[in-house]
Structure 1
Amino acid sequence: MCITDLLRPDRAERWAVILAGGDGTRLRPLTRLIAGDERPKQFCPIFGGATLLDQTLRRVALAVPRHRTMVVVTEAHRRFYLPLVALGGVPSKQVIVQPGNQGTAPAILYSLLRLAGRAPDASVAFFPSDHYFSDEKKFMSYVESAFEAVEFCPELVTLLGVTPEGPEVDYGWIEPAQAALGRSALSLRRVHRFWEKPSLPVAQSLMERGCLWNSFVMVGRVQTFLEMIRRATPDLYDGFTAIQSDLHTADETRGVQALYSRLPSTNFSQQVLALRPADLAVLPVSGVGWSDWGEPRRVLSDLRRMKRGADWRPTPPRALSVDQQRSWKISTVA
C-alpha cells in the first residue's frame, strides 16, 4: 500500500526532462541519407517535416509547459541542437549540456540535481527523444495519470509500460506484480522484474504472461529518483553530488567536464531500474501506437504500417541490408 493511499496530498509542481544526448549510431545509415550529415536521429526530420526532438517537445507540451521543460544534450551535437531548442521555446538555462555521452544514467542524474536546485519537491517526467506515437494526446493522458500516481505514491517511480503487439526481442520488458497497488482508480502494479532484450521464446512467454514493453517514460518525485539512483549506483551518485555545489554557478562547466572525463558509460535501465524493482510501479498503456525508433528496420516498418511515404525519397542505400532495402522500397511508395 502507498503511504498516501488514504490521503491525497497537494499537487506537486510538474516538470519534464527530454533526453536528447544520444549518438543514434544504429539509425545512422538512415539519418545520413535523409540529412546528408552525421547528425543523431533526434535531430533528423524523418517524417512530417519536423525532427524527432521537435515532435517530442510538442508532445510533452500537452502536459508540461515549456518553461518547466529541460532538454539534456551533448556538446558534440551543438550545431544540431541550438537552432531546434531555440525554435522550440525552451529557455537556455534549461538546456543541460553534457561534455560527452556517457549513457542515460549520468544524463538523468545530472538533470535531477540541476532540477533539485530549483524545485526540490517537484515531480518530473523523463522522455526519450526518439519515439513515435500514433496517438500523442492519448499517450500524454497516460502521462497525466502517471503524475497522479506519483501524488498517491510519492515513494515510487512510475513507469509507463506499453501493452505489447508482438514478442519484440529488441525492447526491454517489464514484468508487473499480480496484485493492484493501492486503492486509487489507476491500474498500477508494482514491478516484479525487468527483462532486457529477451530471446524470442522468452519474449513470447512474457507476452502470454501479461508483461509490458518498457517505454522508458517514467514519472516520480525528484527526491525519489535521487534516492533510487543512490541505492543502485552509489559511485555514480557520489561523483555527481561531489560537484553539486558547482551547479548553477560559473564553476559548473569545469566541474562537470572533470567528472565526465572519468565516468564509465552507465545505462539507466540496466544499472538502475533493473536493480531497484521495489522502488517502481508500472502503469499499463494501450492504444497509443508506440514505437522506439532505434533502428532502420523499425522506422521503415512503421512508415509502411502508416501507409504513407516519407518526406524524402532516396534510392535504397548500400549501407542497409537487403531486407531493409526491400522495406525501404515499400515504405517510400506514396
Structure 2
Amino acid sequence: MKGIILAGGDGTRLRPLTRRIAGDERPKQFCRLLDREILLEQTLRRAGRLIPPEQTVTVVVRAHERYYAPLLSGVPAPGLVVQPENRGTAPAILYGLLSLDALVPAGAVAILPSDHYVSDDDLFMAHVAAAFHAARLRPDLAILLGSVPRTPEPEYGWIEPAYAMPIEPRGRLSRVRQFWEKPPPALARKLLGLGCLWNTFVIVASVRTLLALVKEALPDLYERFAAIRPAMGTSSEQEAVRALYAQIPSIDFSRHVLATCPANLAVLALNGVEWDDLGEPRRVMARLARIGMRPEWIRPEAAVIA
C-alpha cells in the first residue's frame, strides 16, 4: 500500500479564517482549523494507520516552504515532492505518481487530500483499506470514496452510482454512471434525491491505472512529464520540473480526468463517516457547530464570516 498526500493547494477562499487563526494567509492544510492539530499533521497521522510512511509521498509547493518545512523536517527527500508552482491537482497527482513509482514501483496507491475533516479516523481508514482490496480485485478501476451527503451542496463534486458490484465489500461498491463536478443548485438537489454521493477526492487505484487515465485524458501533460522522467531522482530534477511547470496551465484532476472516464471508475460509500472539505468559512463554522467544538480562535464576530 502506498500513499500520496496532496498538500499544495492555496486555500484562497479560507484566507479570512486562516488570517484570524494564524495571523497570516497560509493555506488551510497548514492551519489549526478545528482543534490544536494542524490539518496536514492530522492527515499524515491518519494515513499512517494503514500506509507505511516510507511508502508515502507528500506533494507541496515551494512557496509554502515556511509552513511545511517544520512539519515535514523528518521526511526523507524522496518522500517530499516539491512543485515549483501550484498548477492544480492534475499535475500534482501526476508528479506524485511518477515520484512514488520511482521510489516504490508498482502496486496500488491512495490519494489523500491533506485539508479535509473526517469524523472517525479508524473507520475512515478501514474504508480506504476496503478500497485497496477492491482495487486488487479490479486493477482496471479507480475506486473513489463517496461521502453520504446531508445537503444539496453545489460546490462539491458528485458521483452518481450505477449498479452494485458483486465483489467485496458487497453492497457498498458500485460502478459509476456519471461524475458531476460542482453542479448548479437545482441539479445538486436532484442528485441528492437520487442517492448520489459527494466526491471526497480520495482515490485508490493501481499506479499503472491512474497513469493510464491521465495519459488518455491529458496526453500533452502526460508526455511533458514523461520527457523529464529520466531526470527524476537526480540533481537535475528540480531544474527540469521548473521548466515544465512554466509551460503548463492549471489543470483540475476531477474535471479533466475523472469526469471524462466514468467507465473506469467505481465508488465506495463512506458509511458511518462524516466528511467535509472545509473549503469555505461557512462550511468550517457549520462543521464546528455540528461537532460542538469551539476553538480558541473563535470570537463572537467569527460567526458572521461568509
TM-score range, shorter chain: over 0.9
> After superposition, what is the alpha-carbon deviation per residue over 1:199-232, rounded to whole angstroms, capped at 9, x for unaligned?
2221121111111100000001110100000000
- Give TM-score scaled by structure 1 length: 0.88
Q: Quick check: 1:69–1:90 contact (8 Å CA) kept in 2? A: no
- 1:121 equivalent to 2:106? Answer yes
> After superposition, what is the alpha-carbon deviation per residue over 1:112-138, rounded to whole angstroms, capped at 9, x for unaligned?
111122323121000111100111111
The amino acid that maps onto 1:195 is W
Q: Quick check: 1:16–1:69 contact (8 Å CA) kept in 2? A: yes
The amino acid that maps onto 2:8 is G
Structure 2: distance between partners of 1:42 and 1:195 = 25
> What corresponds to 1:132 in structure 2?
117
Q: Quick check: 1:33–1:314 contact (8 Å CA) kept in 2? A: no
Q: Name the SS of the counterpart of 2:12 in structure 1.
A: coil
- 1:35 equivalent to 2:22? Answer yes
Between the aligned residues of both structures, percent identity stands at 50
Of 192-201 and 146-155, the range deviating more from structure 2: 192-201
Q: Quick check: 1:229–1:272 contact (8 Å CA) kept in 2? A: yes
Structure 2: distance between partners of 1:152 and 1:183 = 8
Closer/same/farther in 2, CA of residues 167 and 246 from structure 1, 3 Å limit: same
> What corresponds to 2:48 in structure 1?
61
Structure 2: distance between partners of 1:326 and 1:194 = 31
The amino acid that maps onto 1:23 is D
Structure 2: distance between partners of 1:183 and 1:40 = 39
Runs of 4 or more, structure 1, over 3 Å off, are 182-186
> What corresponds to 2:97 in structure 1?
112
In the alignment, which of 28, 32, 35 is matched to residue 45 of structure 1?
32
The amino acid that maps onto 1:51 is I
Deviation at residue 326 of structure 1 after TM alignment:
7.0
Structure 1: distance between partners of 2:107 and 2:202 = 17
Q: Quick check: 1:158–1:280 contact (8 Å CA) kept in 2? A: yes
In the alignment, which of 206, 222, 247 is matched to residue 221 of structure 1?
206
- Give TM-score scaled by structure 2 length: 0.96
> After superposition, what is the alpha-carbon deviation per residue over 1:18-71, rounded to whole angstroms, capped at 9, x for unaligned?
100010100011001110012111001113211110111111111112121110
- 1:275 equivalent to 2:257? Answer no
The amino acid that maps onto 2:4 is V
The amino acid that maps onto 1:308 is M
Q: Quick check: 2:78–2:103 contact (8 Å CA) kept in 1? A: no
The amino acid that maps onto 2:304 is Q
How many pairs does the alignment contain? Answer: 305
> What corresponds to 1:142 in structure 2?
127
Q: Quick check: 2:144–2:267 contact (8 Å CA) kept in 1? A: yes
Q: Quick check: 1:46–1:311 contact (8 Å CA) kept in 2? A: no
Q: Quick check: 2:281–2:305 contact (8 Å CA) kept in 1? A: no
In the alignment, which of 279, 283, 293 is matched to residue 298 of structure 1?
283
Structure 1: distance between partners of 2:167 and 2:157 = 28
- 1:181 equivalent to 2:165? Answer yes
Q: Name the SS of the counterpart of 2:86 in structure 1.
A: coil
Structure 1: distance between partners of 2:250 and 2:35 = 33
Structure 2: distance between partners of 1:199 and 1:185 = 32
The amino acid that maps onto 2:45 is R
Closer/same/farther in 2, CA of residues 26 and 175 from structure 1, 3 Å limit: same
Deviation at residue 314 of structure 1 after TM alignment:
4.1
Question: Whose radius of gyration is greater, 1 or 2?
Answer: 1
